[in-house]
Amino acid sequence: MKRARNASVQQKADAFLKIAPQFRLGELDTEKPHPKTTELSCLVETDLAQAVSIMKDIDLAAIGSMAAHQDLIQKMKRDMEETLNNNGRVFLVGCGSTGRLSLALEVFWRKLKKGTKYSESVVSFMAGGDTAIIKSIEDFEDYPDFAARQLKELGFRQGDLLIACTEGGETPFVIGAAETALTLSNRKPYFLYCNPDEILMGLTDRTTRTLKNSSIVKINLSVGPMSLSGSTRMQATTVLMYAVGLALLNVFEEVDVKGDIQFLAELIKQTDFSFLQDFILHESELYQDGKFLLYQTHDDLGISILTDTTERAPTFTLHPFENSFVDSHPPSLVYLCLPQAENSREAWQVLLGREPRALGWESYPITDQNYLYGFDFSQAVIEKRTKKVAPAELISFEIKRTRNHFEFNFNQKKHSLKIEGLNLLQQQVLIKIILNTHSTLVMGKLGRYESNLMTWVKASNNKLIDRAARYIDLLLKRKGIELSYADILYYLFEEIEKNYENKSLVLEAVNRICEQEARTRNANMGS
């Protein structure tokens, strides 16, 4: 398969190849395809009810697996209590999905502790600061030094406790935060992750170093593969949020961790998810008809709905939320509205329960606080979005909570889901699972994955570059084509150079390789 290669592309592929051993993560459980969802893209079209059911079963298994870790969760709770009793603060850190779960937990904490002396005692941050809740800032998660800087700028000090969450257990930013915390506080940081130690040990220098460090308290919440391969926004992030939440949101109170887990698992089991089918079909049809969506909600549901909707962009290569200060930004398929807020500043206050914390780093202009306010979720966004998407139609999808129910109201389609008896954390885990299931299957209806492979993944950092390369390799092998990792990287970077806005890098690379293979075969036959 010889042809002239672009020197610039080759240089980038070679540069990645040199560091690739630190990011080749295909052996991780969280990166592998789930055996129960190998036909997911087909089921979405032929048996949507079965697709919903399988997704629910995988979430149930993940929740149920947490009971085995009740002792460590209780220990984490006691360490949080000791920290708070001694005027320390609890810091929560992650990047991407785990960063958003960290911010969400601070929102829940502030709601529960409003008016108490502990209301400011939890500080969450993610790679890139609060702006990154909308769209992860490229490269940030690959640099542990950035984590150290953010932690110090937030004032982490002696007596503070860090809770670090990483789905895979290998994220450089999160590891950097944990290691920096050791140098600033006498309290041992916690490190929560979702892959087996025996796989992580020796995988990379950083994972081995972390696992061997006895000054870092590890909680391994392995849950196996995700229902959509590599989509750690799903089961991995669910159990991480639930585990940290069980400890954090129950400080100074008695909690039966195992009982809480069993109660929630049974409630999810008994909850009928079949209502999602109509909503999945309706949302996917609206997009296919060229229409746009505005999710409307209130209070602490805002952070959960924002998380699910913004995470669709990198997972399925969609336009991210547009910033109202940048006219050239194309409209995203979906946006969030908090109609009780009159302006952007007020909306961010409602969303986070506090003033946003943007980094304001000169070398990264998008971390500026003013830029952050360009993401406007107030009632003003209704008019802004209507003008932005015109002449296309803007449709509203309301998700609200009454005293005992979640109320779904989507363009005349309505459903009321009972939540009586659920505490705030249990409600949030439930709505997260529902939203993840809904959005993943909507994207399946739009053809945004093949089998259960995230073929539309956006290769925006080193981990995702490797993931895209692995998917190319897997799809090629299914077609009987063997290619070296180095060659695959070249073709991948060739596609990355084209800066597609609405194409799959993985599928484009596979098609190009297949075409080249066919030309080579035909040339050989003719000679």
Cα–Cα distance for residue pair 234/217, rounded to 1 Å: 24
Predicted confidence band at 517 (pLDDT cuts at 50, 70, 90)? confident
Query: For residue range 213-260, what is the model confidence (pLDDT) as tens digits?
Result: 999 999 999 999 999 999 999 999 999 999 999 999 999 999 999 999
Query: Which residues is 296 bridged to in the sheet?
Result: 337, 398
Say what the pLDDT of residue 527 is: 59
Q: What is the pLDDT of residues 65-105, one digit of tens each?
A: 999 999 999 999 999 999 999 999 999 999 999 999 999 99
DSSP codes, 116-137:
STTTTSEEEEETT-GGGGTSPP
What does the pLDDT read at residue 4?
Answer: 77
Domain range annotation of the chain = 9-33+453-526, 41-446
Q: Cite the beta strand spans of 258-333 per DSSP E.
A: 292-296
State the pLDDT confidence band at 25, using cuts at 50, 70 and 90: confident
Residue with tokens 């969400």: 104
Using alpha carbons, select from 413, 308, 303 the residue that is nearest to residue 348: 303
- Other C-beta atoms closer than 10 Å to the C-beta of 418 total 12
CB atoms within 10 A of CB 358: 20
pLDDT in tens, 457-511: 888 889 899 999 999 999 999 999 999 999 999 999 999 988 777 789 999 999 9
Above pLDDT 70, what percent of the chain? 99
Tell me the mean pLDDT in the region 305-330. 95
Q: Specify the pairing of strand 217-220 against strand 292-296.
A: unpaired
pLDDT given for residue 142 in this prediction:
92
Q: Indicate if the alpha-carbon torsion angle 205, 208, 210, 213 is positive or negative.
A: negative
Alpha carbon distance 55, 57 (integer Å): 5
CA dist., res. 24 & res. 489, Å (int):
12
Nearest CA-CA partner of 121 in 175, 66, 161, 174: 161
334: tokens are 């979906």
pLDDT above 70 (res 455): yes
pLDDT in tens, 384-437: 999 999 999 999 999 999 999 999 999 989 999 999 999 999 999 999 999 999
Residue carrying the six token digits 């990287």:
489
pLDDT for 420: 93
* Residue corresponding to tokens 């690739």: 20
Q: What is the pLDDT of residue 134?
A: 97
Task: Using alpha carbons, select from 290, 334, 321, 351 the residue that is nearest to residue 435.
Answer: 334
State the average pLDDT over residues 366-377: 97
The per-residue pLDDT for 20 is 92
Instruction: Tell me the average pLDDT across 171-198.
Output: 98
pLDDT of 1 over the 50 cut: no
Among residues 252, 238, 242, 237, which one has the least CA distance to residue 112?
252
Q: Which of 21-25, 86-90, 321-325 has the lowest mean pLDDT?
A: 21-25
Instruction: Label residue 321 exposed, middle or buried (CB < 10 Å: 0-12, 13-18, 19+).
Output: buried
Beta-carbon contacts of 109 under 8 Å, excluding residues fewer than 6 positions away, are: 122, 248, 249
What mean pLDDT, rounded, does the chain reach? 95
Q: Residue 326, Cα to own-chain centre: how many angstroms? A: 25
Give the SS3 label for residue 407. strand
User: What is the Cα–Cα distance from 518 to 45, expressed in whole angstroms?
Assistant: 31
The gap from C-alpha 211 to its chain's centroid, in whole angstroms, comes to 24
Tokens of 350: 């409602």
pTM of full prediction above 0.85: yes
Looking at residue 458, its pLDDT comes to 86
Decide if pLDDT at 525 tops 80: no
Q: What's the mean pLDDT in 355-359?
A: 98
Q: Which is nearest to 230 in space by CA: 479, 488, 478, 450?
A: 450
**Residue 475 burial (10 A CB sphere; 0-12, 13-18, 19+):** buried
Q: Supply angle C-alpha 17, 18, 23, rounded to 5.
A: 70
41-446 fold? Rossmann fold (3.40.50)
| pLDDT average, residue stretch 184-208 | 97
